Amino acid sequence: MRYIAVSTCVLWFVLAAAALAAVEGVDVKLAGGEVKGKVRGQGRADVSATVTNNTGRFIDGLRIGVYYSAADVLPAEGAKWRVHEFVFEPPLAPGASTTLRFSDENALEYIKIEAQRARYAYALRYAGSIAAQTVPVSERDGVLYAATRDLLELIGGTIGYDQKSNSLVLEREGRTLKFKLGQKSVLVDGRKQPLEHPALELDGRSLLPIEDVAALFGLTVSHDEEQRIVTLS
Protein backbone atom coordinates (compact mmCIF):
# COMPACT_ATOMS: atom_id res chain seq x y z
CA MET A 1 0.00 0.00 0.00
CA ARG A 2 1.26 3.49 -0.86
CA TYR A 3 0.64 6.40 1.51
CA ILE A 4 0.49 10.06 0.49
CA ALA A 5 1.50 12.71 2.98
CA VAL A 6 -1.33 14.96 4.05
CA SER A 7 0.55 18.25 3.89
CA THR A 8 1.63 18.30 0.24
CA CYS A 9 1.44 16.14 -2.84
CA VAL A 10 5.23 15.97 -3.25
CA LEU A 11 5.77 13.56 -0.34
CA TRP A 12 5.33 9.87 -1.10
CA PHE A 13 5.79 6.99 1.28
CA VAL A 14 7.92 4.08 0.15
CA LEU A 15 6.23 0.85 -0.84
CA ALA A 16 8.07 -2.22 0.43
CA ALA A 17 8.32 -5.40 -1.58
CA ALA A 18 8.85 -8.62 0.37
CA ALA A 19 12.18 -8.50 2.18
CA LEU A 20 14.49 -11.37 1.26
CA ALA A 21 17.16 -12.01 3.90
CA ALA A 22 20.34 -13.18 2.19
CA VAL A 23 21.96 -13.81 5.59
CA GLU A 24 20.41 -16.83 7.28
CA GLY A 25 18.91 -15.92 10.62
CA VAL A 26 19.02 -12.15 10.09
CA ASP A 27 15.57 -10.69 9.48
CA VAL A 28 15.27 -7.24 7.86
CA LYS A 29 11.91 -5.53 7.50
CA LEU A 30 10.91 -2.07 6.37
CA ALA A 31 9.77 -0.07 9.40
CA GLY A 32 8.92 3.18 7.62
CA GLY A 33 10.08 5.78 5.17
CA GLU A 34 9.18 8.21 2.45
CA VAL A 35 10.45 9.62 -0.82
CA LYS A 36 10.52 13.41 -0.96
CA GLY A 37 10.70 15.16 -4.31
CA LYS A 38 8.97 17.32 -6.87
CA VAL A 39 8.25 14.35 -9.10
CA ARG A 40 5.94 11.65 -7.81
CA GLY A 41 7.92 8.68 -6.53
CA GLN A 42 11.34 10.19 -7.18
CA GLY A 43 13.73 12.05 -4.91
CA ARG A 44 15.43 11.58 -1.58
CA ALA A 45 14.43 8.41 0.28
CA ASP A 46 14.55 8.41 4.08
CA VAL A 47 14.17 4.83 5.24
CA SER A 48 14.06 2.95 8.54
CA ALA A 49 14.45 -0.82 8.76
CA THR A 50 14.11 -3.18 11.70
CA VAL A 51 16.84 -5.82 12.00
CA THR A 52 16.37 -8.90 14.18
CA ASN A 53 19.24 -11.23 15.03
CA ASN A 54 17.80 -14.76 15.06
CA THR A 55 21.24 -16.36 14.94
CA GLY A 56 23.04 -17.73 17.97
CA ARG A 57 25.91 -15.27 17.65
CA PHE A 58 26.60 -11.61 18.34
CA ILE A 59 26.73 -9.42 15.21
CA ASP A 60 29.29 -6.61 14.96
CA GLY A 61 28.05 -5.13 11.72
CA LEU A 62 25.67 -5.58 8.81
CA ARG A 63 25.57 -4.73 5.13
CA ILE A 64 22.09 -3.95 3.82
CA GLY A 65 21.24 -3.80 0.12
CA VAL A 66 18.38 -1.54 -0.96
CA TYR A 67 16.86 -2.00 -4.41
CA TYR A 68 14.88 0.95 -5.76
CA SER A 69 12.48 0.65 -8.68
CA ALA A 70 9.96 2.81 -10.54
CA ALA A 71 7.54 -0.12 -10.72
CA ASP A 72 6.17 -2.58 -8.22
CA VAL A 73 7.72 -5.42 -10.20
CA LEU A 74 11.26 -6.31 -9.24
CA PRO A 75 13.70 -6.29 -10.86
CA ALA A 76 12.79 -3.37 -13.07
CA GLU A 77 14.62 -1.57 -15.84
CA GLY A 78 16.77 1.26 -14.51
CA ALA A 79 16.55 0.11 -10.91
CA LYS A 80 19.75 -0.14 -8.91
CA TRP A 81 21.08 -1.61 -5.68
CA ARG A 82 22.51 0.75 -3.11
CA VAL A 83 24.58 -0.58 -0.25
CA HIS A 84 24.63 0.63 3.36
CA GLU A 85 27.08 -0.52 6.02
CA PHE A 86 26.27 -0.46 9.73
CA VAL A 87 28.38 -1.11 12.80
CA PHE A 88 26.66 -2.19 16.01
CA GLU A 89 28.10 -0.82 19.23
CA PRO A 90 27.60 -2.82 21.35
CA PRO A 91 27.23 -5.87 19.09
CA LEU A 92 23.66 -6.97 18.36
CA ALA A 93 22.96 -9.86 20.72
CA PRO A 94 21.22 -13.12 19.70
CA GLY A 95 17.46 -12.53 19.72
CA ALA A 96 17.82 -8.75 19.83
CA SER A 97 16.36 -6.20 17.40
CA THR A 98 17.33 -2.69 16.40
CA THR A 99 16.09 -0.06 13.96
CA LEU A 100 18.46 1.28 11.32
CA ARG A 101 17.90 4.59 9.53
CA PHE A 102 19.49 5.73 6.29
CA SER A 103 18.92 7.96 3.27
CA ASP A 104 19.45 7.73 -0.48
CA GLU A 105 19.45 10.52 -3.03
CA ASN A 106 17.65 10.07 -6.37
CA ALA A 107 15.66 7.11 -5.12
CA LEU A 108 12.56 5.66 -6.74
CA GLU A 109 9.26 4.72 -5.23
CA TYR A 110 9.37 0.96 -4.71
CA ILE A 111 12.06 -0.80 -2.73
CA LYS A 112 13.26 -4.17 -1.60
CA ILE A 113 15.59 -4.52 1.39
CA GLU A 114 17.78 -7.48 2.23
CA ALA A 115 20.65 -8.31 4.53
CA GLN A 116 23.63 -9.02 2.29
CA ARG A 117 26.45 -9.71 4.72
CA ALA A 118 26.87 -9.93 8.47
CA ARG A 119 30.12 -9.43 10.34
CA TYR A 120 29.95 -11.59 13.43
CA ALA A 121 31.71 -10.98 16.71
CA TYR A 122 34.19 -13.70 17.59
CA ALA A 123 32.59 -16.93 18.81
CA LEU A 124 34.24 -19.54 21.03
CA ARG A 125 34.31 -23.22 20.11
CA TYR A 126 35.43 -26.22 22.12
CA ALA A 127 34.91 -29.94 21.48
CA GLY A 128 32.73 -29.12 18.47
CA SER A 129 30.39 -26.82 20.40
CA ILE A 130 29.96 -23.07 20.02
CA ALA A 131 29.66 -21.21 23.32
CA ALA A 132 26.26 -19.76 24.24
CA GLN A 133 27.76 -16.37 25.06
CA THR A 134 26.13 -13.87 27.38
CA VAL A 135 28.83 -11.31 26.62
CA PRO A 136 30.55 -10.84 23.25
CA VAL A 137 34.26 -11.59 22.94
CA SER A 138 36.03 -8.24 23.05
CA GLU A 139 39.40 -7.09 21.78
CA ARG A 140 41.74 -4.99 23.90
CA ASP A 141 45.04 -3.87 22.33
CA GLY A 142 44.96 -6.80 19.93
CA VAL A 143 44.15 -9.36 22.65
CA LEU A 144 40.86 -11.28 22.70
CA TYR A 145 39.00 -11.44 26.02
CA ALA A 146 36.04 -13.58 27.01
CA ALA A 147 33.70 -13.33 29.96
CA THR A 148 34.90 -15.68 32.70
CA ARG A 149 31.59 -17.52 33.03
CA ASP A 150 31.18 -17.96 29.25
CA LEU A 151 34.69 -19.41 28.94
CA LEU A 152 34.47 -21.80 31.90
CA GLU A 153 31.00 -23.03 30.96
CA LEU A 154 32.39 -23.89 27.53
CA ILE A 155 35.58 -25.74 28.54
CA GLY A 156 34.30 -27.01 31.89
CA GLY A 157 35.40 -26.04 35.36
CA THR A 158 34.31 -24.03 38.36
CA ILE A 159 34.54 -20.34 39.28
CA GLY A 160 35.01 -19.02 42.79
CA TYR A 161 36.21 -15.97 44.64
CA ASP A 162 38.76 -15.82 47.46
CA GLN A 163 37.81 -12.80 49.58
CA LYS A 164 40.94 -13.02 51.70
CA SER A 165 43.26 -12.58 48.72
CA ASN A 166 40.71 -10.70 46.60
CA SER A 167 41.26 -13.21 43.81
CA LEU A 168 39.20 -14.88 41.12
CA VAL A 169 39.62 -18.67 41.44
CA LEU A 170 39.25 -21.04 38.48
CA GLU A 171 39.48 -24.81 38.80
CA ARG A 172 39.58 -27.31 35.97
CA GLU A 173 40.83 -30.89 35.81
CA GLY A 174 42.91 -30.66 38.97
CA ARG A 175 44.51 -27.30 38.20
CA THR A 176 43.73 -24.11 40.15
CA LEU A 177 44.30 -20.60 38.83
CA LYS A 178 44.05 -17.47 40.98
CA PHE A 179 43.79 -14.11 39.26
CA LYS A 180 43.75 -10.60 40.67
CA LEU A 181 42.01 -8.29 38.24
CA GLY A 182 44.41 -5.92 36.51
CA GLN A 183 47.60 -7.73 37.62
CA LYS A 184 50.09 -9.35 35.26
CA SER A 185 50.61 -12.41 37.41
CA VAL A 186 48.66 -15.55 38.29
CA LEU A 187 48.93 -18.25 40.93
CA VAL A 188 49.01 -21.68 39.28
CA ASP A 189 48.47 -24.35 41.92
CA GLY A 190 49.88 -21.92 44.47
CA ARG A 191 52.95 -20.90 42.46
CA LYS A 192 53.23 -17.38 41.08
CA GLN A 193 53.76 -17.03 37.34
CA PRO A 194 53.97 -13.96 35.10
CA LEU A 195 50.90 -13.25 33.01
CA GLU A 196 51.36 -11.47 29.71
CA HIS A 197 47.86 -9.98 29.72
CA PRO A 198 45.91 -9.25 32.91
CA ALA A 199 42.35 -10.25 33.70
CA LEU A 200 40.04 -7.24 33.43
CA GLU A 201 36.72 -6.02 34.77
CA LEU A 202 34.08 -4.44 32.52
CA ASP A 203 30.57 -3.45 33.59
CA GLY A 204 30.83 -5.62 36.67
CA ARG A 205 31.99 -8.72 34.78
CA SER A 206 35.45 -10.25 34.80
CA LEU A 207 37.11 -10.81 31.43
CA LEU A 208 39.93 -13.27 30.78
CA PRO A 209 42.58 -13.20 28.03
CA ILE A 210 41.57 -16.27 26.05
CA GLU A 211 44.98 -17.46 24.86
CA ASP A 212 46.68 -16.94 28.24
CA VAL A 213 44.03 -18.89 30.15
CA ALA A 214 43.90 -21.62 27.52
CA ALA A 215 47.65 -22.15 27.78
CA LEU A 216 47.49 -22.31 31.57
CA PHE A 217 44.86 -25.06 31.29
CA GLY A 218 46.91 -26.93 28.68
CA LEU A 219 44.73 -25.97 25.71
CA THR A 220 45.73 -24.64 22.31
CA VAL A 221 43.98 -21.84 20.42
CA SER A 222 43.39 -21.39 16.69
CA HIS A 223 41.60 -18.61 14.83
CA ASP A 224 39.31 -18.78 11.81
CA GLU A 225 39.23 -15.16 10.70
CA GLU A 226 36.75 -15.73 7.90
CA GLN A 227 34.17 -17.37 10.17
CA ARG A 228 35.27 -15.28 13.19
CA ILE A 229 35.61 -18.35 15.42
CA VAL A 230 38.22 -18.98 18.11
CA THR A 231 38.70 -22.71 18.70
CA LEU A 232 40.15 -24.16 21.89
CA SER A 233 41.38 -27.74 21.75
Asked if residue 160 has pLDDT above 90, the reply is: yes
Query: Do 108 and 72 sit in the same domain of this protein?
Result: yes
Query: Do 32 and 77 sit in the same domain of this protein?
Result: yes
Within a domain: residue 141?
A: yes
Asked if residue 48 has pLDDT above 80, the reply is: yes
Query: Do 96 and 164 sit in the same domain of this protein?
Result: no
Within a domain: residue 75?
A: yes
Calpha distance 6→64 (Å, rounded): 30
Query: Do 96 and 187 sit in the same domain of this protein?
Result: no
Of 93, 120, 147, the domain-final residue: 120
- 173-208 pLDDT tens trace: 999 999 999 999 999 999 999 999 999 988 888 999
Within a domain: residue 34?
A: yes
Q: What's the chain's average pLDDT?
A: 86
Within a domain: residue 190?
A: yes
Calpha distance 82→23 (Å, rounded): 17
Query: Do 94 and 112 sit in the same domain of this protein?
Result: yes
Count the domains in the chain: 2
Query: Do 76 and 108 sit in the same domain of this protein?
Result: yes
End-to-end CA distance of the chain: 54
Query: Do 31 and 91 sit in the same domain of this protein?
Result: yes
Of 72, 94, 120, the domain-final residue: 120
Query: Do 41 and 59 sit in the same domain of this protein?
Result: yes
The mean-pLDDT minimum among 20-34, 143-157, 198-212 falls in: 20-34
**pLDDT of res. 111:** 83
Q: Which residues contact 115 (CB under 8 A, 6 or more apart)?
A: 21, 22, 23, 26, 27, 28, 51, 62, 63, 64, 65
CATH number of the domain that residue 102 is part of: 2.60.40
Calpha distance 55→39 (Å, rounded): 41
The residue range of the domain holding 66 is 11-120
CA angle, corner 140, sides to 130 and 182, nearest 5?
105
Query: Do 79 and 137 sit in the same domain of this protein?
Result: no
Calpha distance 201→217 (Å, rounded): 21
Of 89, 120, 151, the domain-final residue: 120
56 within 8 A of 130, measured Cβ to Cβ: yes
- 51-87 pLDDT tens trace: 999 999 999 999 999 888 887 766 666 677 899 999 9
Within a domain: residue 1?
A: no
